[in-house]
Chains A and B, each alone.
Chain A
Amino acid sequence: MKLNKLIFPLMIALTATLAVTGCKKGPTRMTQLYGRGQGGIGDGSGQPPTLNPGPQFPGTEPGPGTKDIPPGGGPTADWDPFMYNQDRSALAANTVHFKFDSAAVLDNEQSNISAVAAALSNQNLKLIIEGNCDERGTEEYNRSLGERRALALREALTKAGIDPLRIRTESFGKDKPVDPGHDEAAFAKNRRGDFVLCTPK
């Protein structure tokens, strides 16, 4: 990009010099300048650059540029969980774990995200993500942290191509530990997002 900015004035200067000197044999030395016609941004044609369109999401208009996914995957879904059978075992192996006091989805959890996304290839299925915390942190703080963990997973699934409106979130704060212990091993198990697969009744 920086080169490009240099190229244009240089070209003009070169042309001007040639015009003034009136050389008819052409330049004796050519300096190869990079960036022209080589796929950089701006191809020297004077036309605006063309960008690859970003992934499209249901309910959004296709347009130029990458569409930002809002935090948590955007406004929450309002389908009624009572209209679905809730299968807690189907995706039990794909539970995602978090670092202490963090809602960031770790890179090594991507295989679980992909597995959950694959399970949702049947468009009739919906998903509840349950966010949970370890016992460190106050009750209502953890209720918000658990919700943000669930929303972070919803956002990751949205990036994997799943319609966020198929996904509900539910935070249990520190009210639903899988390990009742009070040590780091128990805490690590309890900081998690569980996936509940929902099939129409």
Chain B
Amino acid sequence: MKTKPYFKSVGPIATILLTCLFASSTVNISQAQNGHISIEGSGEFGQKPIPVSLEGFSSEAAEVLKFDLTVQGFSFVTPDAAQYLIHGSDAGDVSGTVTDKFAKKVILSRGYNGANPRRQAHAFADDIVSTITGKPGIAQLRGSTAKIVYKTQPSGNGPGEIYIADFDGKNAQPITSDNAIVAKPAWVPGKLAIYYTSYARNNPDIFFHNLSTGQRSIIASYSGLNTGAAVSPDGSRVAMILSKSGSPNVWVCNADGSGLKRLTTGTEDSSPCWSPDGQSICFAAKINSRRRLAKVSANGGAVQALNTTGAPNPTEPVWSPDGKWIAFTSQTSEFDICVIPASGGESVVLVPGQNPSWAPNSRTLIYNHRLGNYHQTLSVLDVFTKQYKDCARATGSNSEPAWAR
């Protein structure tokens, strides 16, 4: 496990948060309705991971469990130091138990069959997370391993393809074969469909791609820039960047490209994202020659700048599904993944990287970071403990990941 050794936090707020965390992470054990003992974690920055031990699994199942649990706030220790003991087997099918060492009680005992051992291990990981924390795990979505979409380039720049993979980078497969520059893939919530930017027609245009039928259509191919598609939570609208009026600004349209409306008029905007209630759009703006994050109503109106204190040059905002946080990329000499409260304020600087995208649990992010001079690799991060794991990288430079919802 690669855990960042330093805590590059900023300002007094972070200190206060830390203090709260230590106070609130004193384990609050309550009798859950289903008879399981569960911990109600408050979920704030600087948390100590929940220590668990893992025994009895072969390398692949153990690898899956370690990946899934690390990126949701668990750490792996010896049984002596563990709060929960995970024990099981993947000889044939996966099965396992979780024992609460303090309560001296088995709180989960389950076996899995069907699919394959990897998928079974992901399912066990989700059951471990929901049993211990009382909140759903993120390893599965609508009956399969949770998916991501991202771009892959043979070299660090230039042409590439859109890829889909499991969130840990396994089972990667290209879904385009245009050998064109591609950018910023985005999921349609609840559907097997995506939007992305492609230069396949020698201009950055926005494509809609139905992954069930393979059918593609272009929803924005105006002169100039068409990029940065972001789908509203109900799937009915798309926010994007167009330069058709003479500067790159935020526009919205219906899912099929109709009903186009301009939302902003600043010098240079990028990377729009939606609030979970679909009412607001957050984006990267240039205000008085400075990079800022800003918000605008999804119906248009005044633009309001957001403070990202302690994190200069913010871009690439993404709103957490629970509405509480906005993650973004800050640029100094390198790039860092940061988080602010959704109303703006002191930034928590997390790890080096770019292009964050939230998992449904509002605590795990997928992002990309530099791998040598030429390539980017995907990584999954638990923002509250700063633990992260690198995803498998099938080929080339991987970036701009988006977590399926």
Task: List A contacts of B331 (CB < 8 A).
Answer: 136-138
Task: List A contacts of B245 (CB < 8 A).
Answer: 74-76
**Which residues 140-159 in A have Cβ within 8 Å of B in the complex?**
140-141, 143-145, 147-148, 151
Sample of 19 more A-B contacts, CB < 8 Å, known A74-B246, A143-B183: A70-B246, A136-B331, A137-B331, A138-B271, A138-B316, A138-B329, A138-B354, A139-B399, A140-B241, A141-B270, A143-B241, A144-B269, A147-B225, A148-B268, A170-B224, A171-B224, A171-B225, A172-B181, A176-B158
For the complex of A and B, the 9 pairs showing the least CB-CB separation, nearest first, are: A72-B246, A76-B223, A144-B270, A144-B248, A141-B315, A147-B225, A76-B224, A140-B270, A138-B315
Inter-chain contact B227/A143, CB cutoff 8 Å:
yes
CB distance from B199 to the nearest CB of A (A): 8
Task: List B contacts of A54 (CB < 8 A).
Answer: none
B202 at the interface (CB under 8 A from A): yes
A-B contact pairs, 6 of them (CB 8 A): A71-B246, A76-B243, A140-B316, A141-B270, A171-B204, A174-B157
Tell me, in angstroms, the Cα distance from A170 to B243 when the chains sit together.
Answer: 10
Number of interface residues of A (CB under 8 A): 36
Tell me, in angstroms, the Cα distance from A46 to B329 when the chains sit together.
Answer: 61
Tell me, in angstroms, the Cα distance from A77 to B284 when the chains sit together.
Answer: 26
Task: List B contacts of A76 (CB < 8 A).
Answer: 222-224, 243-246
Number of interface residues of B (CB under 8 A): 39
Known contacts being A148-B267, A151-B243, is A140 close to B224, with CB within 8 Å?
no
* Residues of chain B whose beta carbon lies under 8 Å from any beta carbon of chain A: 156-158, 181, 183-184, 202-204, 222-225, 227-228, 241, 243-248, 267-271, 284, 291, 315-316, 329, 331, 335, 354-355, 373, 399-400
Inter-chain contact B225/A139, CB cutoff 8 Å:
no
Inter-chain contact A71/B247, CB cutoff 8 Å:
yes
Inter-chain contact A138/B335, CB cutoff 8 Å:
yes
Inter-chain contact B224/A144, CB cutoff 8 Å:
no
Task: List A contacts of B248 (CB < 8 A).
Answer: 143-144, 147-148
Task: List B contacts of A74 (CB < 8 A).
Answer: 245-246
Inter-chain contact B158/A175, CB cutoff 8 Å:
yes
Q: Report which of B157, B223, B270, B373 forms a contact with A78, defined as CB distance below 8 A.
A: B223
A73 at the interface (CB under 8 A from B): yes
Tell me, in angstroms, the Cα distance from A75 to B262 when the chains sit together.
Answer: 13
Inter-chain contact B157/A177, CB cutoff 8 Å:
yes
Inter-chain contact B373/A182, CB cutoff 8 Å:
yes
